[in-house]
Amino acid sequence: MKLKESEFTTIRDKIYQYCGINLHEGKQALVRSRVLKRIRKLGMSNFAQYINYLEKDGTGNEFLALVDVLTTNKTSFFREDQHFEFIRKEVIPQINGRNVKWWSAGCSTGEEPVTCSMVLQEEGVPPGKVKILATDLSREVLQIGKRGVYTAKKVADIPPKVRKKYFQRISENQFQVSGEIRKMITYGRLNLKKKWPMNGPFHIIMCRNVMIYFNRETQQKLVSRFRDMLKPGGYLFIGHSESVSSENKGLKNVCPAVYKKI
């Protein structure tokens, strides 16, 4: 089933206008394969029919389903472990004993906020002192995060002592995050391009490997908004393949892909 250039452009523009994700020309094959999942599920015969259905769907549910299939949700526990070493050595000594607001923006299936919770627990931070807000655009990944159930393959890279302490085996191939860890995390759906309803300021904001899907202009606007939501002295964590422009004043690079609000 061929995806015409005009059809690709229509889908690309709709997604960009909605959430800022930049599906450039090199993403045509990805868009085709992922939208085909929706076309087959709906029993349709081509992309034109699907786009017509999408535009006439007054509920907006199909558009949200399209967003779910087009968003990339690659993640893992302790991903980019240097950040968690920085948290252990630099962040926790500064926040321990205080009431802390922490935001995992683009949390995907929950591995990042769960890792943060485990690190905080392991370093002796009282569970009730830190509240972690975990947000993502995709409804599907948020449901996985809320449930807190992961395959044996997913949890294999967690140190055995930590895994035994914070996960319970519920079947031969499934492990569930402990209730104590899950209580620290609140999951919610958020479009980073739209208005943010939550109250700041935050001590920590982590938005790692999310901005790579945005164009430069959208990236820098997002960084400015994150800076404004940070407490003075708070930290912004981004992905190692991402960067903060020198035009964004008020953020000082203190570690690879870690910035402090000054």
What gap in Å lies between CA 153 and CA 209, rounded to an integer?
22
Assess contact for 138 and 117: CB atoms under 8 A.
no
Of the residues 32, 34, 88, 147, which is catalytic?
34
Catalytic annotation present for 34: yes
Largest CA distance in the chain: 59
* CA distance linking residue 142 with residue 69, whole number of Å: 14
Sheet bearing 174-177, strands edge to edge: 149-151, 174-177, 167-171
Task: Give dist(CA 176, CA 93) in Å, integer.
Answer: 29
- Which of 12, 136, 182, 227 is catalytic? The answer is 136
For tokens 């485990």, the residue is 118
**Rounded to an integer, what distance in angstroms lies between the CA atom of residue 9 and that of residue 119?**
43
According to DSSP, residue 194 is labeled S
Three-state secondary-structure class, residue 74: coil
Give catalytic status of residue 38 as yes or no.
no
CB 191 within 8 A of CB 214: no
User: Which backbone phi and psi does 236 adopt, to 5 degrees?
Assistant: -115, 120
Task: Reply yes or no: is the peptide bond before residue 93 cis, omega within 30 of 0.
Answer: no
Structure tokens at 109: 């299936």
C-beta of residue 173 within 8 angstroms of C-beta of residue 71: no
Cα separation, 138 vs 136, whole angstroms: 6
Catalytic positions are 34, 136
